[in-house]
Amino acid sequence: MITRFAPSPTGPLHLGHAYSAILAHDMARKAGGQFLLRIEDIDQSRARTHWEEQIYDDLRWLGLTWDGPALRQSERLNIYRQALETLWEGGFLFPCSCTRRDIEAAASAPQEGAHYGPDGLIYPGTCREAGARAPGQPLPDAVLRLNMDRAARDCEFEEICDLHLGHHALARTALIDTVGDVVLARREMGTSYHLSVVVDDAAQGVTHVTRGADLFEATQIHVLLQKLLELPTPTYCHHDLIRDSDGKRLAKREDARAISKYRAEGATPGDIRRMVGLPPSS
């Protein structure tokens, strides 16, 4: 068993991160497997070295040890490019020149109606046909979207195996209608969260992905990409979300729940475990 924790160094780790990390860590240790760390720092406009240092420090303080050096996504851009090449050759990508405003205008046209998916407004398809790859055309240096209709066509019977939720069929129509043509390469990064996470889970040999239930829709995209790139699909463990006392989801910006803040106030790692509803470490 190989599990991982994959935080983005764009803010402090909060209770929700601690919960996810502890679950993945303890699961691997109990099975005699490995627990890996990956720093998801492709968004260089938001990633900061001091947040990365804080992640290492908080994890160590929590008593979590990871195997091998952390993998840093910012050092793997050429690997993501190769995966994009494969998808481009397969005719699954198209370049998109729409601005956010173009998308909003097209999606809110009366005959369209605006629909939201996991990445915001569902792409109305403006560039899809014109951007189809001509034979021999090299991968363009542009925003690249997945042609979801093409990609999902053959995947109707694939399943997501979830340790808590059981088996979920990957529904083709839901991917087309409620997810749409997601961005796989952003101009400023040359990649995207969805693409990098899929490439790296495979590169690190991750067998079990532990993540919050809020990422379930993203997981469907990831399983589809694994099929297109012929990568293995891990088992997923979507866990419940740690909420505020008033039931609101914890967001990273809510620094009030930062692990570092509890530490500064004198909390122990055991207190953090208790706060997220986990038994003391054995």
State which of residues 7, 95, 117, 234 lies at the interface with ligand GLU (CB under 6 A).
Answer: 7
Nearer to ligand GLU, 6 or 87 (CB): 6
Sign of the alpha-carbon dihedral angle for 216, 217, 223, 229: negative
State the minimum distance, in angstroms, from the CB of residue 48 to ligand GLU.
Answer: 14
**Residue in 42, 31, 22 with CA at minimum distance from that of residue 2:** 31
Task: For residue 37, give the 3-state DSSP assignment.
Answer: strand
State the minimum distance, in angstroms, from the CB of residue 44 to ligand GLU.
Answer: 14
Nearer to ligand GLU, 103 or 202 (CB): 202
200 contributes a contact to ligand GLU by CB under 6 A: no
Which positions from 139 to 178 touch ligand GLU by CB under 6 A, shown as an x/- string? Answer: ----------------------------------------
Give the count of residues interacting with ligand GLU (CB under 6 A).
Answer: 8
Stretch that binds ligand GLU, among 4-12, 28-36, 107-115, 225-233 (CB under 6 A): 4-12
State the minimum distance, in angstroms, from the CB of residue 215 to ligand GLU.
Answer: 6
Site for ligand GLU in 32-61 (CB under 6 A): 40
* Residue-wise DSSP of 101-145: HHHHHHHTSTTT---EETTEEPP--TTTTTTPPPTTPPPPSSEEE
Stretch that binds ligand GLU, among 1-9, 106-114, 159-167, 259-267 (CB under 6 A): 1-9
User: For residues 239 and 133, what is the distance between their CA atoms, to the nearest angstrom?
Assistant: 39
Stretch that binds ligand GLU, among 2-10, 61-69, 113-121, 139-147 (CB under 6 A): 2-10
Neighbours of 240 (CB within 10 A): 12
Task: For residue 243, give the 3-state DSSP assignment.
Answer: strand
4 burial class (0-12, 13-18, 19+ CB within 10 angstroms)? buried
6 contributes a contact to ligand GLU by CB under 6 A: yes
- In this structure, what is the dihedral angle of CA atoms 225, 68, 214, 194, given to the nearest 10 degrees? -30
90 burial class (0-12, 13-18, 19+ CB within 10 angstroms)? middle
**Residue in 35, 86, 34 with CA at minimum distance from that of residue 198:** 86
Nearer to ligand GLU, 139 or 198 (CB): 198
User: For residues 55 and 209, what is the distance between their CA atoms, to the nearest angstrom?
Assistant: 19
Nearer to ligand GLU, 38 or 150 (CB): 38
Nearer to ligand GLU, 181 or 200 (CB): 200
Neighbours of 264 (CB within 10 A): 9
Cα 65 to chain centroid distance, Å, stands at 22
Which positions from 205 to 244 touch ligand GLU by CB under 6 A, shown as an x/- string? Answer: ----x-x---x-----------------------------
User: For residues 186 and 191, what is the distance between their CA atoms, to the nearest angstrom?
Assistant: 6
197 contributes a contact to ligand GLU by CB under 6 A: yes
Residue 19: what residue type?
A: Y
Closest residue to ligand GLU in the complex (CB): 211
Residues that bind ligand GLU (CB under 6 A): 6-8, 40, 197, 209, 211, 215
